[in-house]
């Protein structure tokens, strides 16, 4: 549209205000229900349990808790392994599936289901599956893979094995969804560039490495960082399958301090401040990498 120079009149000024009126409720809402709790939790994390004096005790207690180190370690392992594993498999599957075929829409619908399942349903599914007398062992037995006495003790493994079990469960839920995001990215690529790559003598591998992947960069970044953010926050599925404090992770500890211990509410708040800082840090990296800061108002 060609800008028309106008003198500012009353209704025009009002017109300029409309968008602000429209976003005002969101701003107010965020102030009351987001900013307010964030400030509150920051404030109380530095107050002692009886709210009488300022203290660093809450944070010191966390840093001295042996479970804290374990939680950091487990969360880190979970994020690194699960994100790498899920991304690699999802990318591979997306590249394979990236063509028109009959039943594509059915497959996409099926891929949406695991993400749509509530956490408790996923928990019920796998805790009944991995029980010694559960359906997983029954299935393996019926297929003739294990013998009657060879039941696999899924839930009785060591700490690291149990963590990998959780990673597998998480992968089942996340890979299909990640595949959809990457598939959408792949389908949005211009066909001409890829064809040009082949015309100029590129093999499948070089075209993938030199053309497809760089063009897919923004989809990959989005998928990866959103995934990292949600991977840091894993906890409920662990508690549903193993209970509290079997495999400590950051958020599980937050809820543990609040729900299972008495008079540790402020410690739990301090804990949640730590987790929020970590997640915010990754979020800001994401916003920076995705170029959201640079984007001019369009």
Residues 201-220 that bind other proteins (CB under 8 A): 218-219
What minimum distance in Å lies between the beta carbon of 118 and other proteins?
4
Question: Which residues, 107 to 126, sit near other proteins by CB under 8 A?
Answer: 107-121, 123-126
**Is 14 or 160 the residue whose CB approaches other proteins more closely?**
14
**Is 27 or 156 the residue whose CB approaches other proteins more closely?**
27
**Is 211 or 234 the residue whose CB approaches other proteins more closely?**
234
What minimum distance in Å lies between the beta carbon of 210 and other proteins?
20
Q: Who's near 72: CB < 8 A, 6+ residues apart?
A: 250
* Sole window of 58-66, 96-104, 158-166, 206-214 interacting with other proteins (rule: CB under 8 A): 96-104
- Residue 58 within binding range of other proteins, rule CB under 8 A: no
Query: Are 270 and 59 within 8 A, CB to CB?
Result: yes
d(CA 108, CA 125): 22
d(CA 38, CA 31): 10
d(CA 234, CA 113): 19
What minimum distance in Å lies between the beta carbon of 279 and other proteins?
5
- Residue 20 within binding range of other proteins, rule CB under 8 A: yes
Q: Which of 10, 25, 66, 158 binds other proteins (CB under 8 A)?
A: 25
Nearest to 58 by CA among 43, 37, 40, 75: 43
What minimum distance in Å lies between the beta carbon of 250 and other proteins?
9
**Is 17 or 160 the residue whose CB approaches other proteins more closely?**
17
In the stretch 158-197, what mask flags binding to other proteins with x, by CB under 8 A?
--------------x---x---xx--xx-xx---------
**Is 32 or 193 the residue whose CB approaches other proteins more closely?**
32
SS3 content of the chain, % helix, strand, coil (to 5): 75, 0, 25
Other CB atoms closer than 10 Å to residue 86's CB: what's the count?
Answer: 25
- Residue 283 within binding range of other proteins, rule CB under 8 A: yes
Handedness of CA 90, 96, 99, 104 (dihedral sign): negative
What minimum distance in Å lies between the beta carbon of 162 and other proteins?
16
d(CA 262, CA 49): 10
In degrees rounded to 5, what are phi and psi of residue 202? Answer: -75, 145
Residue with tokens 């590249």: 95
């Amino acid at each position: 549209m060609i800008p028309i120079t106008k003198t500012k009149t009353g209704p025009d000024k009002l017109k300029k205000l409309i968008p602000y009126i429209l976003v005002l409720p969101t701003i107010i809402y965020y102030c009351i229900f987001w900013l307010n709790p964030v400030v509150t939790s920051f404030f109380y994390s530095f107050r002692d349990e009886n709210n009488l004096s300022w203290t660093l005790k809450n944070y010191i207690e966390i840093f001295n808790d042996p479970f804290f180190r374990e939680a950091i370690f487990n969360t880190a392992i979970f994020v690194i392994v699960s994100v790498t594993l899920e991304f690699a498999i999802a990318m591979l599957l997306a590249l394979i599936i990236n063509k028109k075929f009959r039943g594509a829409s059915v497959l996409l619908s099926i891929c949406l289901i695991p993400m749509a399942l509530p956490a408790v349903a996923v928990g019920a599914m796998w805790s009944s599956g991995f029980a010694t007398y559960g359906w997983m062992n029954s299935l393996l037995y019926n297929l003739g893979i294990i013998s009657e006495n060879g039941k696999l003790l899924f839930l009785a493994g060591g700490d690291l094995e149990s963590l990998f079990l959780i990673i597998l469960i998480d992968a089942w839920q996340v890979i299909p969804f990640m595949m959809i995001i990457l598939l959408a990215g792949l389908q949005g690529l211009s066909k001409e560039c890829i064809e040009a790559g082949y015309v100029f003598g590129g093999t499948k591998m070089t075209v993938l490495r030199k053309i497809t992947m760089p063009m897919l960069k923004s989809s990959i970044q989005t998928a990866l960082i959103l995934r990292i953010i949600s991977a840091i926050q894993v906890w409920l599925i662990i508690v549903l399958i193993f209970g509290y404090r079997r495999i400590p992770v950051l958020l599980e500890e937050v809820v543990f301090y609040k729900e299972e211990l008495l008079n540790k509410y402020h410690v739990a708040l301090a804990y949640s401040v730590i987790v929020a800082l970590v997640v915010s840090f990754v979020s800001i990296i994401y916003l920076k990498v995705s170029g959201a800061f640079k984007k001019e108002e369009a």
